[in-house]
Amino acid sequence: MSLRAPLARKNMAESKQTPDANTGIPEYEYIDVNTKPFHVGSFRDEWLARLRPEDFSFQQEDEETFEANFAAEMGLGADTMAELKSACSIDSLRCHPEDEQLSMDDVPSNPRLKTLIQRKRKQERASSHNIHKNRHDFYADELERLTIGRPPEMGADRIPKGEVLLTINIYHPAVYEKFNFTRPCMTLLMTGSHTLTELRDAICCISDLQVCGEFSKTPDVAPDFISKDHFKSAFFFFEGVFYNDMRFPECQDISITTVEWAKAHNFPQYSQAKMEDTRFVDLKVKVGFPYLYCHQGECEHIIIITDVRLFHKTDCLDKNLYPLLTHKHRSLTQKCAVCHVFIARWYTTNDQFAPSDPCLFCDQCFRILHYDTEGNKLGQFFAFPYTDRGAFN
């Protein structure tokens, strides 16, 4: 009798906690690291249930209407309202006389705020070292400038209000030695109604452009054999479900090996679904948690969904521009060993003409050095088509 009572109390306590896997309210699993899994569609519905339609519409309300409504709701007279408006006006925040034109690019002299003191110190240090601007900073906001502030499209091309926007970071393949998990290779913005196949098509990986095979005897035939066309299978892995790409007849289910291995080794059961049938609003994901994208059978990328939110009027509202690229990592390109001007396209080994083994050449230098005027192969060498990492710069 006494044993049963504590159990009953424990069950009661458990049932009191609301299971938030079913509600769409994201909570931290580990603070500032990632959230618990939540359903994207439910998240959207939760927000839309809490907001009034004018809160998330893209049109700007009329200010006078807003003030009139506010005064009516709070029961304020016209005088009180005018007083309130002037008391809360932004003009009271101005820190310099009205006619003084200040440049916002200079740090003011005699700064009192700690941020400014540190910024000034950093600027002085930077100017004394004469650090050159690097290419990452130079192009940092290039993509952003193209899209932010575009006038909203009208008509069918416009994103409907209340749509969900996801920010997705895609990282370099696991075989890269640098920047494996720190710098994203690219950042994409997707809408909730996009399918996973659209994300897959938007991901640019150079392994898709690689050509397998030795082409020293037939250098002109090479471009017909791009890997992307040969090996079309790919999958995404989100929260225990493998989403396979089955659009083309050549596509195979490459996740089946993992699923069967897991079954045989007492792992939790994984399930499978089709990439082309799943939209982002149907997914149940964790924000900030790494997931997997695998293509070409062995090229694996980590994918992290960094943010999920409702569309705002300052976002790009043209449906045709999505998936939208907002950040791209710029890799150093390998140049030809001969001219140092063009990007390398051929990779040779066992080459008697080359200064090193292996060696990189651009197309022109390669042909001039290794083939005579009729196109016959000269000397001994192996030649492979080379795709540079910076091909997408």
Binding mask 282-301 for other proteins (x = CB under 8 A): -----xxxx-----------
**Residue 43 found at the interface with other proteins (CB under 8 A):** yes
Which residue bears the tokens 């991901």? 203
Residues 251-280 within binding reach of other proteins (CB under 8 A): none
**Residue 60 found at the interface with other proteins (CB under 8 A):** yes
Out of 21, 72, 82, 116, name the contact with other proteins by CB under 8 A.
116
Stretch that binds other proteins, among 91-99, 265-273, 336-344, 368-376 (CB under 8 A): 91-99
Non-local (6+) Cβ contacts of 33 within 8 A are 288
**Residue 167 found at the interface with other proteins (CB under 8 A):** yes
Distance CA 36, CA 374 (A): 65
DSSP string, 133-185: PPHHHHTTTHHHHHHTTPPPP-GGGBPPTT-EEEEEEEEEETT-SSSSSSSEE
CB of 22 to other proteins, least distance (A): 15
Out of 144, 201, 250, 277, name the contact with other proteins by CB under 8 A.
144
**Residue 56 found at the interface with other proteins (CB under 8 A):** yes
Nearer to other proteins, 316 or 359 (CB): 316
Residues 69-88 within binding reach of other proteins (CB under 8 A): 70, 74, 76, 80, 84-85, 87-88
Distance CA 363, CA 10 (A): 73
Out of 114, 132, 217, 340, name the contact with other proteins by CB under 8 A.
114
AA letter at 203 = I
Instruction: Tell me the β-bridge partners of 19.
Output: none
Residue 325, Cβ density class (10 Å: 0-12 exposed, 13-18 middle, ≥19 buried): middle
Q: Are strands 241-244 and 234-238 parallel, antiparallel or unpaired?
A: antiparallel
Which residue bears the tokens 């192009």? 139
**Residue 111 found at the interface with other proteins (CB under 8 A):** yes
Cis status, amide bond into 19, omega within 30 of 0: no
Helix (H) or strand (E) holding 325, with range, is strand 324-328
CB of 147 to other proteins, least distance (A): 11
Nearer to other proteins, 215 or 289 (CB): 289
Nearer to other proteins, 67 or 208 (CB): 67
Binding mask 22-41 for other proteins (x = CB under 8 A): --xxxxxxxxxxxx--x---
Q: How many residues bind other proteins (CB under 8 A)?
A: 78
**Residue 218 found at the interface with other proteins (CB under 8 A):** no
